[in-house]
Chain A
Amino acid sequence: MLALIDSNNFYVSAERVFQPELQGKAGCVLSNNDGCAISRSNEAKENLGIKMGTPYFEMRELQQSGALWWRSSNYTLYQDMMRRITAIVRRTFPDQEIYSIDECFCDLQGFKYHDLQQLAIDLRAKILQYTGVPVCIGIGATKTLAKVANKLAKKQHKETGVYVMDTPEQVEAALKLTEIDEVWGIGPRYAIKLIRKGVYNAYDFIRLPEDFVLELMTIQGRRTYRELHGQRCIPMEYDPPDKEGISTARSFGVMETELAPMEEALATYVANAALKLRAQQSVCSRLFVFCHTSRFAVTENLYSAGLDVKIDVPTNDTGTLIKVAIGALRKIYIKGPRYQKVGIELRDLRAASQVQASLFEPVDDEKTAKLQKALKVIDQLNQNYGKDTIRYAAMGFERKWFMKQEFRSRRFSTRIDEVIVVHAR
């Protein structure tokens, strides 16, 4: 059996742990640059009809009248809370795949003779007490069935927050309660096709002949079909595969026309990407830089450009990469357009050890070793004392271009000067 552990309204829940005044009130967390709602409390969904992606300006009145609270996304906080939750889960179910920031799958192979229902109920209570974040747990024979069970846990079993699909009767009942467009792996396009053919729920779907599914929905659809029949087709992925390319790009808080702030933003993205590169012990040999204006500003001067640059000696050194990236940006930048975004992608990644043997050796070995040592120290300092404590001058200090995050809460769990305040009164 497999379990899917999924945090309820994760960003909103994480905010509420440290801000009790948000408890029980309609609220949401906004996307990067405070654009739209990306996580909503149940009250916001049910009472105010706020949807995923409802834009900021449509909610402004509600917020101003006090009917709704909102926060900018505080990814530092969410990432730390996620790490805590997944670590707690691992202590109960060690075979874990972290699927996204708020979901993980666990293989329960070793728990054949355990009472899974009780284990899951205990785990859920533990996570709630230890972190303050409510989760739901669904258990089924495959990843797709665990997803079905999780949805049911959320909708129909709110008190326990747990649903175990053990017997064929339970599976059948659950599939009948799952509408076809809610099935993991069936996109809206196929859902419409299926509904036209009279397939309304997951149970209707599994009663179709397999050949029919294959013809209608190709091999992907058959995979979902088999998974719903209890046959494991989507394997567990324990170690996330090394990334083939690393990209960082973000929209500016306000449109940018000058080169200097764009260079600062770019340098910061390069530093982020290079850190990830070093964390997976890779180097890159190509780098892609791009910038563009807003796609929606139709009345304006539209501009979009990108440049792919080859790096002579594959590297993960922030300094070298910043130099190359800024050089590329200067080639594609033109004065005039109001830029919305600049970004970078590190390409052609390979293991640093591979390169060292073939390419670095004839180069200055000692210098490379020294540089790697320095980078290690910088990464360590930045991890201990906060991101960008040690940074390259090219990354700038003013940061006018920085993401708009007007309503971000404090980083309660990772910064000693931002912890909660307790009143001894």
Chain B
Amino acid sequence: MKELLIYERAPQQGTLIPLFAEKIHAGFESPAADYEEARIDLNDYVSKYPEATFFARVTGECMVGSGIFPDDLLVVDKSLTPAPGDIVVGVLDNEFILRAYYRKGSQEYLMPDNPYYKPIVRNESTQFQIWGVVPHSILDQRRRNSARINRFEQLLR
């Protein structure tokens, strides 16, 4: 998907900084040349620790309440320790699962954010691990167009 490509990891040599974007006619230097800055890099915004940052794709709907829909892209930061309320990628039964981490007293839960799904409690038979914390998710807004249109239709009816 074209829109998603900007989220790909920046090349290792760092960000390319445009030195002189335009050819300047001899004699007149751009008055803005000294003020040129590197463009905004989303990598800096979504991950504090690039070496510990991975990406993941979502399937399923248990986190729609948090605005995470099927096919969305997740930023997973393994350097973060989960705090209650954090969305996490966990491992349960050899599978990556998406849930919100919650702790109450000594009890640990992986909570869905969708009333149709059940909480997972950590106990002897259910031993989940936390693989990483999801600080950001990337929703492809254009893929939600038809869902939006349906809502508009109902509103106009």
CA distance A422 to B92 in the complex (A): 11
On A, residues with C-beta under 8 Å from B are 20-21, 23, 83-85, 87-88, 129-132, 380, 383-384, 412-414, 416, 419-425
CA distance A84 to B51 in the complex (A): 5
Contact of B59 (CB < 8 Å), options: A88, A129, A384, A424: A424
Contact with A along B1-38 (1 / 0, CB 8 A): 00011011101100000000000000000000000000
The answer to whether B55 and A419 have CB atoms under 8 Å apart is yes
Closest CB in chain B relative to A105 CB, distance in Å: 19
Contact of A425 (CB < 8 Å), options: B5, B7, B68, B117: B117
Residues of A within 8 A of B91 (CB): 20
Contact of B57 (CB < 8 Å), options: A83, A419, A425: A419
Closest to B96 in A: A422
Residues of B within 8 A of A424 (CB): 58-63, 68, 70, 97-99, 112
Residues of B within 8 A of A420 (CB): 54, 56-57, 89, 96
Residues of B within 8 A of A88 (CB): 51-52
Closest to A86 in B: B51
The answer to whether B98 and A423 have CB atoms under 8 Å apart is yes
Residues of A within 8 A of B52 (CB): 84, 88, 129-131
The count of A-to-B residue pairs whose CB atoms sit within 8 angstroms is 88
Contact of B97 (CB < 8 Å), options: A21, A132, A380, A423: A423
The answer to whether A132 and B96 have CB atoms under 8 Å apart is no
Contact with A along B109-134 (1 / 0, CB 8 A): 00010000100000000000001000
The answer to whether B94 and A23 have CB atoms under 8 Å apart is yes
Closest to B63 in A: A424
CA distance A84 to B68 in the complex (A): 28
Closest CB in chain A relative to B20 CB, distance in Å: 14
Closest CB in chain A relative to B67 CB, distance in Å: 12
CA distance A334 to B98 in the complex (A): 58
Given contacts A83-B12, A423-B59, A424-B59, A20 and B54 within 8 Å (CB-CB): no
CA distance A20 to B68 in the complex (A): 23
CA distance A21 to B91 in the complex (A): 10
B79: interface (CB < 8 Å):
yes
Contact of A423 (CB < 8 Å), options: B11, B49, B60, B79: B60
- 18 A-B residue pairs with CB within 8 Å: A20-B95, A20-B96, A85-B51, A132-B78, A384-B11, A416-B5, A419-B73, A421-B57, A421-B58, A421-B59, A422-B56, A422-B57, A423-B95, A423-B96, A423-B98, A424-B98, A424-B112, A425-B60
Residues of A within 8 A of B49 (CB): 130
Residues of A within 8 A of B51 (CB): 83-85, 87-88, 130-131
